[in-house]
A and B are shown apart, each in its own frame.
Chain A
Amino acid sequence: MQPAHQDSDVASVAMTALSGIQLTVNGKAYSVQVSARRTLLDLLRDQLALTGTKKVCDMGHCGACTVLRDGTAVLSCLTLAAACDGADIVTVEGLAAADGTLSPLQQAFIDCDAFQCGFCTPGQLISATALLAENPAPNREEIQAYMAGNLCRCGAYSGIVDAIEQASKQG
C-alpha cells in the first residue's frame, strides 16, 4: 500500500530507464531489457512467463520466491533483475529432468504430502535443493534449522522434513 503523497515528486524517469542483461534460466539463455526497479521475481514471472516461482510477501520475509543463483539460494523478490547480468538461475521449473522425470526431492514431496495449497512449495523445493547440495545427509534438526526461513501457512512442515529426509537417502 502506498501512502497518499500530496506532492508529485515522482522520479520515474530514472527509475523506468531500461538496461539490457543476459542471463541463463533453467539452462536457457535470455537477453532482456529490465527497468531499474524490476526484481528478479517479477522478471521471471512477468517477462519470462516462468510463474512457478511465487510472490507471497515481496519483502524477503517468507522464502516462497527462493531461486538458485549460481548455485546459491537467494530471495528473488530482494534481488534486482538489473544485477543479474551473467547469472545462472534455476527455478522450480528447472528441477525435473528434460524428459519430465521428477527430481528425488520433487517425488519425495509428493510421496510425503509435503504441501497443501502448494503456493510455498516452489520455494521449499529450491531451498531443500540448496540444503542437500550443501549437506547431502542432514538430520531432522539440521533440516528444520535450514528451512526455517521458508514459511508454510498450511502447516505442511512435518511432510517437508520427511520428504527432505527421504530424498537425502536416495541422493
Chain B
Amino acid sequence: MTRVVKTKIEIEGRVHEETVVVERNEPEAWEAGREFSQVGKSANRVDGRERVTGAARYTYDMHPPGLLYATVLRCPHPHARILSLDTSAAERLPGVRAVLSKNNAPDISWYAGASKLFDEELRFAGEEVAVVAADDLDIAHDALKLIKVEYEVLPAALDMDKAASPDAPVIHPKGNVLLDNDGNRGETYSRGNVEKGFKSADFIVEGTYRTPTALHNSFETHGCVASWEGDEVTIWESTQYIFGVRGRVASALKLPVSSVRVISEYMGGGFGSKGQTLKHSVIAPLLSRMSGRPVKYMLDRHEENLLSGNRGETVQKLRIGATKKGKLVAMELETLCNIGAYGTWAASVAGPAQELYACPNVRTYTLGVRTNLGSHAAFRAPGHVEGTFALESAIDELCRQLDMDPVEFRKKNYAEGDQVSGKGYTSKYLLESYDMASRLHSEAGEPSLTKLPPGNWKVGTGMGSQVWSGGGGPPAHALVRLNSDGTVEVMTGTQDIGTGIKTALSQVAAEELGVPLESVRFRLGDTQKGPFAPASWGSITVPSVGPAVRGAAEDAKQQLLEIASYFFEVPAKRLQIKDGYVTVEGRDEGKRSIGDVLSEVGDYMIVGKGFRGPNPAEPLRTWGAQIADVAVDIDTGRVRVLRVVAVHDVGRVLNPKGLASQFYGGILQGVGLALMEDRVVDERTGLVVNANLQDYKIPTMSDAPEMIVRAVDIPDTAANHIGSKGAGEPPIIPTPAAIANAIYDAVGVRVRNLPVTPRQLLDTLEATGVEARQPRERSS
C-alpha cells in the first residue's frame, strides 16, 4: 500500500529532508552470514567486452547524421564586462550554421540567479561569450577569430584573503562570502566549551594547513550531443545525473520533462564534477534548434580545467588539545574554502573534526569565499579529504608529544556514537579497520627499496583514518522485467560513471532472482528507459539503487512464482528459483525455466517494481584506516609512496574485484593530491597556467605504490536491506594524511601544505635544519 513519509538524507556532509513515496513493504534484510550465489563473489565487468573492443559508445562518440560541432569564445579576463560584441563576420563564414551570444540568446537565469546563460558581466577567465556551431571544428575555431569583442576589465579578487576582506571588489550579487541561514558570515558549529577544554589540556597542537585547488581531469571531458526530433530533444550527455540534466534543460527551455531525453550509457569519469548541469547542456539544444541539425559540444582539456569544477583550496587553522593521559579535550577549526566565482556551498571540511574522535569541546567555523576563478564542484569526498589531512596531521603530532602509539591514541579517543546528533550510528567498524590495517601492515613486512632510483632515501610510516557518509537513501527506483523467453532486464535511471555499478547491481538482481549473472541485461543511463535514480555522487548509488533493484527483483520473482504455482499445482510459497529454473523447494525434478513458465501464459511480461525505503533515524557512516610507507630523498626532496594498506568499513561487499578497484583509484588520487596536484593561477592575469595534463600532474603508472586493500565486510542491516554502504569516496580520504605523517616519520619535519612538492619539502628540511636531525626510529 502506497504511503508518503519524510526521511533524512545526507549527501557529502549536507543533510536534507526528503518526502518520499513508499510503495509497499521492503524485503527483509539479507542477514549477516547468509550464503550467496552471486553477491560477494568477484565478478568481471558485465560490459567488459564493450570497453576493451572500442564498442562502448560514450557521449563523445555519438555522431548522428548531419552533425555540427560547437566551440566557444571565452572571456580572457578574470572579471570583465562586455561593452560590445559583433558576431556578424563569424556568421558569414561558410560552414558556420549558428552563433549564439548575449545578442540573440534567450534570457535564461544561471548560477542560482547570479548570472545568465550569456551574461554581460563575466566573473572568471573562461566564461562563455559566444558559441559557434559549424560543419567541422576547424571552421568553428576559425569563426571564433572573426568575433569582435570589447571588454571593460573590472577589478578581480583572486585570492581568498583579498576576496573576503571588506574593501574587496564585489564580485558576486550575493556578496563575496557565503552566509549561514541566519545571515552570518560562514557556518559555525559548537559543542561544549572550547576555552575550558583547552585550559584542561596538557598538550596542545596548533597549525595552519593548506590544501590546493585540485582539478578532476575526468578523461572524458564534459559535453553533450543534442538532436531534435519534432518537439523532443535527445541529449547524450557525459553526466553523473541524467535526471538532473533533464530537469535543468526542461526548465531552461520551458519544455515538459517528457520532451527531454537524456542518455549516458557509457561515461568517461566524473569524480563529482559531473553532478552539476553546465551551460553546454542548454546551449547545444538551442544551437541544434537554430540550425536544424544535431550539435556536438564537448569541452576541450583546457576548457575542462577552467570551468568544469575543482576541489577548491582550503586554509585551515586547527588547534587541538589533550590531557597527558591522551584524552582529547578540545578542538577548534577555522577554515576558508575557495568556492570560485559562483559557488553556493562550502565543502564539509569541518566534518572530521566534529565526528572522527570523541571530544566534548569542539568549535568549527567554515567560510566559503568567492573568487574570480572557475567555480568549485564536488570532488571525491569534498571537504573530508582536506579536513582529514589537517586533523590527522595534528593528531599525529599530538601522538608524538604524548609519545603514544597512533592506533592506541585513536582507540582511546574512539567515538561510540555521533556526537553531533547525539544518536548511535547504524554501524561503525572503525576499531576493526584499525586492527586489520595494523595486522596487514605488519604482515607485509618492510617495503622493498630496491626499485628506488639512487638517492639519500629515508623511509617512514604514517596513518590516517576516515569518517564519511555514504549511506544513501530514497528516492531511487528500479524495474525488473522478465520476458516471455526468460530473459531478465533491469531498468533504472542511474548511471555507471566508471565505478562498475552495472556489474554490482546485476549481481544483486541475479542473486534475488536466482538466475545466472549472464542472463541479466542491465539498462541504465537513459531517462526514457528507467525510473528515477539519484545522481551518482556521495557514494550513494549502491546503498540507494541497490535496494531498489533487489526490491524490483523480489517483486518480479513473487509474480513469477504465483504464475508458476498454477502449473506446479502447489502454493507459490513452496516454489523457488534456482540457477534460472523454477522448482518446488527441496526437489529438482520437474523444474521449469522462467521462459517455459512465461511462454505458457500468452507471451506475458512480468514487470517488478522496487524502491529505496526511508532511512533509519540513526546517522549512516563509512569508516576506514590507512597506513602508508614512504621514502624521502633528503637530497632532492622527492617523495615516493612505497605502499598503502587500506581497510574500510563499507558494509557488505557486493563485488570484491570491483571494490578493490575503487580502493586503488581512491588511494591513487590521494597520492596525487598529497604530492603533485595543484592548479596554478597567475596572480597578475588571473589565468590558470596549467590547465592541461602536462603541467597539471596526475599520478602515472610509475607513481603507483603497492596497495593492500580490504573491506571489513560486515553488513549494515540497519542501513538498508542489502546491507551495503557506498565505497567510492572513503578510500581517498585518509591517504594524504597518512602520507604526510609518514613523511614526518621518515625525516622528522611536518609538512602542512599540500601538495608536498620537492621544493616545499627541501625548503622545510632546510628551515628546520634537518640534516642535523636524526629521524625518529621506525616503529611499524
Contact = CB atoms under 8 A, between A and B. Distances in A.
Interface of A: 1-8, 10, 12, 15-16, 35, 37-38, 42, 45-46, 49-59, 61-62, 64, 91-93, 95-96, 102, 106, 109-111, 113, 115-122, 125, 141, 143-145, 147-161
A116 B53 contact: no
A2 B73 contact: yes
A103 to B, nearest CB: 9
B348 interface: no
Given A8-B145, A106-B52, A116-B269, A61 B58 contact: no
Nearest to A103: B52
Given A51-B63, A54-B219, A154 B498 contact: yes
B664 to A, nearest CB: 5
Contacts of A96: 53
A40 to B, nearest CB: 15
B53 A156 contact: no
Contacts of B53: 52, 92-93, 95-96, 102, 106
Contact of A35 (B138, B668, B699): B138
A153 B677 CA distance: 12
Contacts of A38: 138
B301 A45 contact: no
B60 A57 contact: no
Given A35-B138, A117-B267, A118-B51, A51 B57 contact: yes
30 contacts: A1-B72, A1-B126, A1-B302, A2-B73, A4-B129, A10-B145, A16-B139, A37-B138, A46-B63, A51-B61, A56-B220, A58-B301, A61-B301, A92-B53, A102-B52, A111-B44, A113-B660, A116-B662, A117-B498, A118-B51, A118-B498, A145-B702, A148-B702, A152-B219, A152-B701, A153-B219, A153-B269, A153-B669, A156-B664, A157-B664
B638 to A, nearest CB: 16
A33 B658 CA distance: 44
B563 interface: no
What are the nearest 4 A-B pairs in CB distance? A52-B54, A117-B498, A155-B668, A119-B268
B432 interface: no
Interface string B302-338: 1100100000000000000000000000000000000
Size band of the B side of the interface?
Answer: 35 or more
B657 interface: yes
Contacts of A6: 148-149
Contacts of A153: 216-219, 269, 271, 669, 698
Nearest to A52: B54
Contacts of A55: 60
A67 B548 CA distance: 42
B45 interface: yes
B89 interface: yes
B729 to A, nearest CB: 13
B1 interface: no
Interface centre among B268, B451, B500 (most CB of A within 10 A): B268
A2 B144 contact: yes
A59 B693 contact: yes
A156 B51 contact: no
B701 A144 contact: yes
A155 B669 contact: yes
Contacts of A149: 700
A10 B146 contact: yes
B55 interface: yes
Given A10-B145, A117-B219, A141-B451, 5 more contacts: A1-B302, A116-B269, A154-B665, A155-B664, A157-B668
B492 interface: no
A57 B693 contact: yes
Interface of B: 44-45, 48-49, 51-58, 60-61, 63, 71-74, 76, 89, 93, 126, 129, 136-139, 141-142, 144-149, 216-221, 266-269, 271, 300-303, 306, 451, 497-500, 657-658, 660-662, 664-669, 692-694, 698-702, 704, 707
Nearest to B43: A113
A109 B52 contact: yes
B138 A1 contact: no
A78 to B, nearest CB: 12
Most chain A beta-carbon neighbours within 10 Å: one of B269, B271, B451, B666: B269
Contacts of A141: 451
Contact of A117 (B76, B269, B664, B692): B269
A48 to B, nearest CB: 11
A59 to B, nearest CB: 6
Contacts of A46: 63, 136
A156 B665 contact: yes
A8 B89 contact: yes
Nearest to A12: B142
A143 B271 CA distance: 27
Contacts of B694: 57, 59, 61
A4 B500 contact: no
Contacts of B52: 92, 95, 102, 106, 109-110, 115, 118, 121, 125
Contacts of B48: 109-110
Contacts of B54: 50-53, 91-93, 122
B141 A151 contact: no
Contacts of B661: 113, 116, 154, 156, 159
Given A15-B138, A45-B61, A119 B269 contact: yes
B44 A113 contact: yes
Given A2-B145, A119-B58, A113 B707 contact: no
Contact of A119 (B216, B220, B692): B220
Nearest to A105: B52
B219 A56 contact: yes
A61 B701 contact: no
A139 B635 CA distance: 29
B71 A56 contact: no
A42 B756 CA distance: 38
Nearest to B450: A141
A116 B498 contact: yes
A1 B61 contact: no
Contacts of B657: 113
Contact of B700 (A4, A10, A148, A159): A148
Given A4-B147, A51-B54, A117-B219, A61 B693 contact: yes
Contacts of A8: 89, 145-146
Contacts of A1: 72, 74, 126, 300, 302-303, 306
Contacts of B497: 117
B605 to A, nearest CB: 30
Given A59-B301, A116-B499, A118-B268, A155 B76 contact: no
Contacts of B692: 57, 59, 61
A128 to B, nearest CB: 11
A146 to B, nearest CB: 9
A161 B499 CA distance: 19
